[in-house]
Amino acid sequence: MMEITIGTISLNIFALLLTILIGFYTYFKWCFKYWKTRGVPHVEPTFPFGSLKNPAVGAKSFGEQCKDFYTTFKAKGHKHVGIYMFAAPIYIPIDIELIKNIIQKDFDHFVDRGVFYNETDDPLSAHLFAIEGAKWRNLRVKFTPTFTSGKMKMMFPILIECGRQLKEAMDIATGKNEPIDIKDFAARFTTNVIGSCAFGLEFNCFEEAESNFIKYGKRFFVPKGIELLKDFIGFAKPSLARRLRMCLTPKEVEEFFMKIIKESVNYRETKNFERKDFMQLLIDIRNSVKDDKENGIGLTFEELAAQAFVFFVAGYETSSTTMTFCLLELACNPAIQQKVREEIKEVLEKYNGEMCYDALAEMKYMGQVIDETLRKYPPLMFLNRKCVDPYRIPGTNIVLEQETPVIIPILGIQRDPEYFPDPEKFDPDRFNEENRNKIIPFSYLPFGEGPRICIGLRFGIMQTKVGLTVLLRNYKFSFNNKTKIPLKMDPFSFSMAVDGDIWLNAKKNIENY
């Protein structure tokens, strides 16, 4: 009798699961008609991942897959393509004019990024990059003055000190005559910079086996287990993730950064201590507008913490990635590396050998090298936008519905031979004074463009230049065979990240010692 009961329960459970699966499959098949009924060329979807490859079988990253969609459908003469992430339809413009319209000309239809944030359950996610509508506009106006040249110069001494720590660590490493994990060195340098500027804490990541800032910074970018599914839901359907009260920031990451930020703010306010850094700028904004809630521009502690957090995770990751790929390319192109080194020497001689903000501004060729690195290896491989009002695509009768996600495939555009001939070649001369003017507008988008262009781009370039100046002035780099070529990108990362390490040989530049 007991066996019959157990068997009946098992059968009922199986029937319930089968019914749910059939329901999901039917719903997905219905959703998969979305682009076809609207006459938009599309990637044929399959259940349950839609147009994307199964992430469990070593597929390419989402950014690389978007590049493939762009390349394939452009070759067929299409100006746009529709894809599905699970059951969610996503619109990908291919034609540069369409991209220009979305990012700039018709910006009011695409003012929001459409990425996940949840002020209540995941306060660190509600930062300037993610928030929407009037709140974004008000915060953007308030934060824009914090990234002027004057404010950058104010923080420059912090970067010089971090550069000194970088040199000391590299001196020790080169003395061992072993290959250098350049990705790790770049991450430690940028963590020192951003940690000091964003939180007002002076620490030397080079002296610790694993700094907590690096540990929790990496943890944020490496989802585990169920977090992967939550991240995909948050990316494909952020509104659903909010309704489900999801928190995409790992709990230990939130607890660590909230504690650090609270301690920093409390110390400064109780001790009346001021420091010329990003944290001080945030505190000043908070104190100047905290009683102005009726105008919607008040800055709560949670909002302050979210801005400090995104400044850290975005600043340390994107700049360290840029430095890493830049040094790899220079190691593989010694003539270009030597040309940068000669420019550094020539410029710094004008300033008595001292690195300063104005000296970096004169390093034009280094700027070209960084620009070319950002073209070939954009830290963000795509841009997010969301249609906030129904939008008729110019030249067609197709109307994008409100809430439709839009993906602009930066990696595909910037490696398109129509815009950048021989795109796999590393060629800084694409960005010299003569050729820069020939670049088609909106074909180069490493920082985005239009009203939602990256607010921190000046700071990112500045810290990248400081790191490269310290390294290239004092050391010569060459390729090490421990680095696996061709590079394989991390399939689970939404940013440009190598799966594995990048090793280089480094030796002291005798001329500078």
Known binding-site residues for heme equal 454
Three-class DSSP labels, 451-503: HHCCCCHHHHHHHHHHHHHHHHHHEEEEECCCCCCCCCECCCCCECCECCCCE
Q: Are 454 and 111 in contact (CB under 8 A)?
A: no
What does residue 46 show for φ and ψ, rounded to 5 degrees?
-135, 155
Q: In Å, how far from its chain's centre is CA 300?
A: 25
Contacts of 37 (CB under 8 A, 6+ apart): none
Within 8 A by CB and 6+ apart from 382, the residues are 62, 63, 66, 407, 408, 409, 410, 411
Q: Is 41 helix (H, G, I), strand (E, B) or coil?
A: coil
250 neighbors 231 (Cβ within 8 angstroms): no
Residue entry with tokens 């540990």: 215
- For 305, half-sphere exposure in the C-beta direction (CA atoms, 13 angstrom radius) is 22
Give Rg (Cα) of the chain: 24
Sheet order of strands, 503-508 included: 180-181, 503-508, 475-479
Tell me the C-alpha to C-alpha distance, in Å, between residue 287 and each of 30, 135, 274, 381: 52, 18, 13, 37
| 386 closest CA partner among 229, 239, 232 | 239
- Alpha carbons 174 and 505: distance in angstroms, whole number: 8
Within 10 angstroms of residue 7's Cβ, the number of other Cβ atoms is: 10
Q: Who's near 131: CB < 8 A, 6+ residues apart?
A: 117, 139
Three-state SS sequence of 321-367: HHHHHHHHHHHHCHHHHHHHHHHHHHHHHCCCCCCCHHHHHHCHHHH
Q: How far apart are CA 511 and CA 513, in angstroms?
A: 6
**Residue ranges of the binding site:** 454
3-state secondary structure of 409: coil
Three-point CA angle 437, 381, 236, nearest 5°: 135
- Counting Cα atoms < 13 Å in the Cβ hemisphere of 458 gives 15
Q: Are 134 and 108 in contact (CB under 8 A)?
A: no
